[in-house]
Structure 1
């Protein structure tokens, strides 16, 4: 049974986001075999969040995924992004702190989400601190490049300090 569910989940993942019709067909099959599968629920949440922009429905799928497997390393990142899109900043902050405790999770990705949260709250100093922390946990050139680009963007957003010229 698990093998069949995994087959449909991987088909859905392969079709996401370019072939949504096929993705949803496969995802519905996967969930019919195991309605509590956290990865399938997470992918359904991503469909609602990233494609349909229905954040409330997406949150329900992500919550269910987290309830069914609290240690799933895939769900928190996408759930946090959904919360940020929906401007649920307090919930996002709590989930970030929880996610950083999950063994095996990509801490750089979660700290990047924490950076996004600080940026959205216009707390640029904290955003830069989070980027520095994320850099410590980055193990790929792709992630480092993304962090460097975000750092440049945040620095450009920071208010410029005015220098006062002394009159002699």
Structure 2
């Protein structure tokens, strides 16, 4: 990205998700210079997280990946989009690939894998994945988050066992 494009990208990022009009305007300016993975990822997030238009979001995420497959920012958001759209097979493939990308935060991606397993009601495997994520966590805030996820999964597992 060039300096002017960076300026507009950071404006869009700064306004997201609180001022969508400014976000979209800044993104349009940034993308008018050149298409890049970070801008397309943010645009995909608008479609996924704000508009709940997962199919359009997937197109933008895929375009971002085609520009820069090593863009570390896009994987967690793309995985969320796939999970929200019940595209579990695609999510699993993307998670497995993301874990091979150099520099990726493995704890975050392993947590996404636990989420996928939780969506599929595979609670025991989801708990194992939380434990794997812990091994790759070097941040006390994320460790606390993983502990809360573990409690949530255990509650669901217990409820699921009672309902059988």
Category of TM-score, reference length = shorter chain: over 0.9
1:91 aligns with 2:90: yes
- Rounded to whole Å, the distance in 2 between the matches of 1:137 and 1:27 is 33
1:145 aligns with 2:144: yes
- Rounded to whole Å, the distance in 1 between the matches of 2:111 and 2:6 is 29
1:13 aligns with 2:13: yes
Q: In the TM superposition, what is the alpha-carbon distance from 1:158 to its structure 2 partner?
A: 1.0
Query: Equivalent residues in 2 for 1:14-163 (5 A)?
Result: 14-35=14-35, 37-159=36-158
- Rounded to whole Å, the distance in 2 between the matches of 1:123 and 1:154 is 10
- Rounded to whole Å, the distance in 1 between the matches of 2:48 and 2:158 is 32
Question: In terms of Rg, which structure is larger?
Answer: 1
The two structures have a TM-score, normalised by structure 2, of 0.95
Residues 79-111 of structure 1: CA deviation (Å, up to 9, x unaligned): 000000000000000000000000111111101
Structure 2 gap ranges (5+): none
State the Cα RMSD in Å.
1.2
Structure 1 gap ranges (5+): 163-168
- Rounded to whole Å, the distance in 1 between the matches of 2:74 and 2:13 is 14
Q: In the TM superposition, what is the alpha-carbon distance from 1:48 to its structure 2 partner?
A: 0.3
Q: In the TM superposition, what is the alpha-carbon distance from 1:159 to its structure 2 partner?
A: 3.8
Looking at secondary structure, tell me which structure has more helix per residue: 2
- Rounded to whole Å, the distance in 1 between the matches of 2:64 and 2:13 is 16
Q: In the TM superposition, what is the alpha-carbon distance from 1:140 to its structure 2 partner?
A: 1.0
Q: In the TM superposition, what is the alpha-carbon distance from 1:34 to its structure 2 partner?
A: 0.9
- 1:166 match: none
- 1:165 match: none
What is the number of equivalent residue pairs in this alignment? Answer: 161
The two structures have a TM-score, normalised by structure 1, of 0.93
